[in-house]
C-alpha cells in the first residue's frame, strides 16, 4: 500500500516532468548544413546517456571532457569532440525517481552541457578566424588554453551550477554567442 508521502513524491515527479520536460538542455545553434562534418561532435548538447556512470571519490558530481583537434578536412579546421569515456556522473545523481534528485539532476545536466557549449563556441569562433588563414597549431593551443580558463571561470562564477542566477547569465551569454558565430560560418 502506498503512503501519502509516496503519492506526493509521484505527483511532484509528474508535475516536474510535465512542466520542465524529461530532458532539460541549453538552446543549441546547429552549424550550417554546408559545414560537414560539424566542428562540434556531436552537434547537440550531450545528455546523461552520453556520460559514463562512475563512483568517484571526488568533490564533484560530474565532469565533462572535451578533446580538441585539427580535423584533416579541406580546408583543415578545428574540432571539439565530446569524450564519453572521460565524461562521467555519479549514478546516484541521475539514476533516481526521487523528484528532488530528478530536478537537481536536470540543473546539473544544463551546467555540464554548457561546458561542452563553451568549447564548441571557442572552436567555431576559431574556425571563423581561420577562414582568412592562420596557423592551425597555434590556434589549437590558444583554444585549449582559453577553454580551460573559461571553464574554470564558469565553475567559479556559478559555484558549479549552484548559483542559479549566475548560471542563467552564463547560459544566456554562451547561447547568444553561439547564435552569432553560427551566422558568420
pLDDT band at 95 (very low <50, low <70, confident <90, very high): confident
Q: What is the mean pLDDT of residues 46-53?
A: 94
What is the tens place of the pLDDT at every residue in 97-141? 888 888 999 999 999 999 999 999 999 999 999 988 889 999 999
Per residue, the 3-state secondary structure of 119-131, as one string, reads HHHHHHHHHHHHC
CA separation for the pair 3, 31 (Å, rounded): 50
Lowest mean pLDDT among 26-35, 66-75, 118-127: 26-35
3-class DSSP state for residue 62?
strand
Give the residue from 154, 166, 180, 171 showing the smallest Cα distance to 27: 171
Q: Among residues of the chain, what percentage have pLDDT more than 70? A: 81
| Count of CB atoms situated within 10 Å of the CB of 185 | 16
**Angle between helix 136-158 and helix 99-130 axes, rounded to 10 deg:** 150
CA separation for the pair 76, 78 (Å, rounded): 7
CA separation for the pair 143, 184 (Å, rounded): 18
- Residue-level pLDDT at 25: 62
What is the C-alpha R_g of the chain?
Answer: 18
- Residue-level pLDDT at 19: 33
Q: What is the mean pLDDT of residues 143-162?
A: 96
- Residue-level pLDDT at 32: 62
Angle at 79 between CA 73 and CA 83, to 5 degrees: 130
Q: Among residues of the chain, what percentage have pLDDT more than 90? A: 58
**Domain parsing of the chain, residue ranges:** 24-184
Alpha helices for the chain (secondary structure H): 4-20, 99-130, 136-158, 164-184
Tell me whether strands 40-41 and 77-82 are parallel, antiparallel or unpaired. Answer: parallel
Amino acid at each position: 500500500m502506498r503512503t501519502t508521502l509516496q503519492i506526493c513524491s509521484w505527483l511532484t515527479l509528474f508535475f516536474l516532468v510535465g512542466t520542465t520536460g524529461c530532458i532539460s538542455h541549453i538552446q543549441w545553434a546547429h552549424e550550417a548544413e554546408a559545414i560537414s562534418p560539424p566542428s562540434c561532435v556531436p552537434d547537440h548538447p550531450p545528455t546523461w546517456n552520453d556520460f559514463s556512470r562512475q563512483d568517484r571519490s571526488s568533490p564533484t558530481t560530474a565532469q565533462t571532457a572535451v578533446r580538441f583537434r585539427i580535423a584533416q578536412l579541406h580546408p583543415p579546421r578545428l574540432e571539439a569532440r565530446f569524450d564519453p569515456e572521460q565524461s562521467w556522473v555519479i549514478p546516484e545523481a541521475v539514476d533516481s525517481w526521487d523528484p528532488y534528485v530528478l530536478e537537481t539532476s536536470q540543473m546539473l545536466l544544463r551546467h555540464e552541457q554548457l561546458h561542452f557549449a563553451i568549447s564548441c563556441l571557442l572552436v567555431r569562433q576559431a574556425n571563423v578566424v581561420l577562414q582568412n588563414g592562420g596557423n592551425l597549431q597555434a590556434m589549437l593551443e590558444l583554444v585549449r588554453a582559453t577553454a580551460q580558463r573559461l571553464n574554470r571561470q564558469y565553475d567559479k562564477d556559478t559555484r558549479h551550477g549552484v548559483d542559479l542566477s549566475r548560471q542563467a547569465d552564463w547560459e544566456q551569454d554562451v547561447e547568444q554567442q553561439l547564435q552569432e558565430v553560427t551566422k558568420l560560418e
